[in-house]
Structure 1
């Protein structure tokens, strides 16, 4: 049988010394690994012919760990010590040995049986440069890299965001720290890739975890025959980039406001100047020169307004605009948080009552949310709490302010209507127009706390 190597994981399961004694008649060496996070590094860089896992190691199920091992080292015999064989899921090719007073003897027997077979083709040989290269990529890249099998269960994880074993054997819906809506959407995305319905997923999210804003890409994982056997994922922390975008958006909005206020005042002065010009009858040459100058000033004002209110990234040509897909999937929480961070200070707060992905023009929807949030800040004060949540056919934005006392309530959407003296009264009018442009409805009702609630309906949401 030749010299064989057995890797035993953990300190509280099988006693390595006792196991080695039980294997005295078998030419096999025992290596103990206390640090579970080094499991895949150890299996990749060294040669082993069998793996012994405890039923529970570092608070994790040995069965879950075995999912990852079997996908990456499919012919490596795995023995789970102290596990009820009936608890092992169907399709997971491992040997479970029940707890007993003869645990080490029974495990030794299972190890001997496994060593009698063909040696494992991957774990039983030195690693290739490609294997060590990919392992280094998973370990050293600061982003989150991971691989999942054809049931979307984690089988390998990098060290970017998590410990490399804390989700093994689990789908996202079984990971407790992930929001339910996000986990279900992630699982749907992954199954679409696995089943060949799409070749790539890319989405940005807002999460209440260590990384606030993330961008995730998911692609097929192909086996040696070119068949899809799972997915490979890459999640990147884009929080710093988003914060820079927020700062730029605030700067752009200040510029727009300055330009609009200045243009309003300048046009008033132009009206006065044109009025005085009419009194200059008989001074044809002078009047013509003055009128031409005033016309030039008016043109300059129009140009300043156009430039300040255009896309901050620069104007696009018509053929470029047609190539940009305006409607796309966007998380309601992520877009809401981005808009909120450009408007409110620390006294106000934004909360969420559910989340969903909507199919929307991100820029238009951002403008709609901006108007609704500004309305809450203006009417309910700087310490307002705004809640964004989901409904059966869309979403809502509600505040805890005094509400809007208008009869009939629909008047709030009239052009020019305002309860704040310095406002133009066009905000909610524009919001309803923006919603209608996407085929949505916008209505107002009372929130649970007595404030204002705006309901956006007829929205294409991904359940």
Structure 2
């Protein structure tokens, strides 16, 4: 290994003095990095012919970090120390050395073998302006930027929400802070991109994390030949906007209920007036009164129609049932009830309308004392069930009548509005189970997408 010294970057929790002593300093220059979060910055701005990772660095697996490095610097030799070669995945191109001792001859030999090969084309040279530009974008943008490989494993993350190596090597299904159904839904979305089923993903999500409401957009990452080699994503915190939307939705709900209650009371008075009008004999007096009452009745019908109609409907977009359910639940639930997800599906919907439907079904369950609300899927839609008391009504469809309620002081319009919203989407809403300890509403004719 004659000529200029070859550079080795060692990422370890402690100084690697013993490794440095294993090489002729004129032949090999060793740089030690103890902060794993800066590994991509160092590899981009520096010039290195080999990377050495210990089994764990800063509590993270060196093998996982190697996943990201090998995707962004594919011809850079990587040596992982303290890992049995037999447990290294077949699709990870690294040299593994079982000995945990950085100064062992086995480690020195593995590095020496790596340095005898061709110099890496990317890590072995100074960075181009494009590379430094993209690294600055990942490091400085306040939003969450990330790249994933063709198996949906994290390759690189920006510093907006996390550190660059926090999830490297992991899919969303393996990220512990994400709810299981959320990780699964995100993974399935990403595989649709990687397999060419869709050209982008654009969804709003509820995460139950520091930034609870986010908008996520993901697009393919193409290689030099135009083939998909992964994906690039951007997640933005939209909590402030979603909070305003929830406030407006609650305000709209109150206004709708006031309008419907008023219309209900007016109709009762109109029925009384019409009944008494029929007893009068003087047609010259009753005709204008009847005409006036008819106009009032028509106005009441218009109020009901306008208050229950979904205005400014958005374009229908793919929505995950679990994500939407958790978001809506967060706005209506109390401390004495729990939400359970029993199955998940992606479906097309106007998200605001679907949110309003779930809101009224959840509120109905909570108002009747349910302690557990379960959301699940059917072959043609989804259901919302709860463990509240039996609904004693015949026929069952009466629960959707305007003004029907069994709770004193309740307006009785929640399920009526829920059914109107469902029908506006082309769905059907029905009460399918009203037995003791089990109440279930089914939403059918939904356009499911897996």
Q: Considering the TM-score relative to the shorter chain, is it more than 0.5?
A: yes
What's the counterpart of residue 107 of structure 1?
107
1:436-447 matched pairs, under 5 angstroms: 437-438=426-427, 442-446=431-435
Identify unmatched segments of 5+ residues in structure 2.
Answer: none
Q: Is the 8 A contact 1:81 1:103 kept in 2?
A: no
- The 3-state SS of whatever aligns with 2:165 is coil
Q: Please, which moves more after superposition, 361-370 or 119-128?
A: 361-370
Q: Is the 8 A contact 2:345 2:377 kept in 1?
A: no
Structure 2 residue 381 is the aligned partner of structure 1 residue 379: no
What's the counterpart of residue 217 of structure 1?
217
Tell me the alpha carbon deviations over residues 66-104 of structure 1, each in whole angstroms, 9 at most, x when there is no partner: 111111111222111222222222232222223077844
1:158–1:22 Cα change, 3 Å: same
Identify unmatched segments of 5+ residues in structure 1.
Answer: none
What's the counterpart of residue 87 of structure 1?
87
1:200 is displaced (CA, Å) by 0.6
1:24–1:282 Cα change, 3 Å: closer
1:263-342 matched pairs, under 5 angstroms: 263-266=263-266, 305-311=304-310, 315=311, 325-326=315-316, 328-340=317-329
What's the counterpart of residue 261 of structure 1?
261
Tell me the alpha carbon deviations over residues 337-369 of structure 1, each in whole angstroms, 9 at most, x when there is no partner: 444455x47455341233513424345544443
Structure 2 residue aligned with 1:452, among 439, 442, 450?
439
The whole-number CA distance in structure 2 between the counterparts of 1:230 and 1:94 is 20
Tell me the alpha carbon deviations over residues 296-330 of structure 1, each in whole angstroms, 9 at most, x when there is no partner: 7666656555554444xxx55xxxx7xx654x432
1:209 is displaced (CA, Å) by 2.5
The whole-number CA distance in structure 1 between the counterparts of 2:301 and 2:442 is 35
The whole-number CA distance in structure 2 between the counterparts of 1:168 and 1:256 is 48
- The 3-state SS of whatever aligns with 2:136 is helix
Q: Please, which moves more after superposition, 37-46 or 55-64?
A: 55-64
Q: Is the 8 A contact 2:54 2:100 kept in 1?
A: no
TM-score normalized by the length of structure 2: 0.83
1:8 is displaced (CA, Å) by 0.9
What's the counterpart of residue 389 of structure 1?
375
Q: Is the 8 A contact 1:280 1:287 kept in 2?
A: no
Over the aligned positions, Cα root-mean-square deviation in angstroms equals: 3.7
Tell me the alpha carbon deviations over residues 146-188 of structure 1, each in whole angstroms, 9 at most, x when there is no partner: 1111122111111222222121112222223333333233222
Structure 2 residue 400 is the aligned partner of structure 1 residue 398: no
The whole-number CA distance in structure 2 between the counterparts of 1:208 and 1:345 is 14
1:152–1:456 Cα change, 3 Å: same
What's the counterpart of residue 3 of structure 1?
5
Q: Is the 8 A contact 2:397 2:431 kept in 1?
A: no
What's the counterpart of residue 341 of structure 2?
353
TM-score normalized by the length of structure 1: 0.81
The whole-number CA distance in structure 2 between the counterparts of 1:250 and 1:145 is 33
Q: Number of residues paired by the alignment?
A: 443
1:180–1:246 Cα change, 3 Å: same
1:6-405 matched pairs, under 5 angstroms: 6-12=8-14, 16-24=16-24, 26-99=26-99, 103-266=103-266, 305-311=304-310, 315=311, 325-326=315-316, 328-340=317-329, 344=332, 346=334, 349-362=337-350, 363-380=352-369, 384-391=370-377, 393=379, 394-405=381-392
Tell me the alpha carbon deviations over residues 91-137 of structure 1, each in whole angstroms, 9 at most, x when there is no partner: 32222223077844332333233333332221122222221221121
